Amino acid sequence: MKQLEVTVPFKEGLHARPAVKLIKLVSGFESTVTIFKNGKEYNAGSITSVLAGGIMYGDQILLKIDGPDEDAAAAALKAYLT
């Protein structure tokens, strides 16, 4: 399992376009990606989950990536979210 700590760089938070891009990115990998914010978890492959997370600009989130292609997934996510 890989972990990634990120500060959300998108000015409008994780919604609409950035959320759609994130989910597309995540669906391209087999690994499951979970976002942890303030002790709650959200499935990064589910748009309703990501939107419900209300993740805003500057939020510190933790991503857990688990699966056969977790290295590639973590690298791609790191590139997208930093």
Partner 1 sequence: MKKFKGNGCAEGAAMGLALVKTNYEPVYTMDTVRDTAAELAFLEENIVALGQKLDKLYERTLAQSGEEAAELIESYQMILMDRVFFDGVRARILQEHLNCKMAIKLECERSRESFMAIEDPYLRERFQDIQDVCFKLVMQCDNAVDSLAEVYLTQPTILLADTLTPVDTVKLDKNFLAGFIVEKGGPTSHAVILAKTLGIPAIVGAEGICAQVENGSRVIMYADTGEIIIDGDAEEEIRFSRRMTAGAAEKEKYRREPAGPTYTLDGVHIEVATNSGDADTAALLDPALCDGIGLLRTEVLYMAHEDYPDEETQFQAYKSVAEKMQGKPVIIRTLDIGGDKALDYMGLEAEENPFLGYRAIRICLDRPEMFQIQLRAILRASAFGSIKLMFPMIISLEELRRCKEHLEACKAQLRQEGKAFDKNLAVGIMVETPAAVFLADQLAREVDFMSIGTNDLTQYVTVADRGNTRVQKLYDPYHPAVLRALYHTGREAQNNGIGLGVCGETASMRKMIPFLIGAGVRELSVALSSLDKVRYLVRRLSARQCRDAAEEIIHDCSTSAQAQAVLEKLLGGIE
Among 12, 6, 5, smallest CA distance to 57 is for: 12
Write down the least CB distance from residue 15 to partner 1, Å. 5
Check residue 57 for interaction with partner 1 (CB under 8 A).
yes
Q: Coil, strand, or helix at residue 18?
A: helix
Check residue 43 for interaction with partner 1 (CB under 8 A).
yes
The H-or-E segment that residue 66 falls in is strand 60-66
What would the two tokens of residue 61 be? 């989130």
Euclidean distance between CA atoms 14 and 52, whole angstroms:
10
Clarify whether 15 is annotated catalytic. Answer: yes
Check residue 23 for interaction with partner 1 (CB under 8 A).
yes
Instruction: Find the catalytic residue in 13, 15, 37, 56.
Output: 15
Euclidean distance between CA atoms 70 and 15, whole angstroms:
24
Check residue 56 for interaction with partner 1 (CB under 8 A).
yes
Residues taking part in catalysis: 15
Binding region for partner 1 (CB under 8 A): 11-13, 15-17, 20, 23, 43, 45-49, 51-52, 54, 56-57
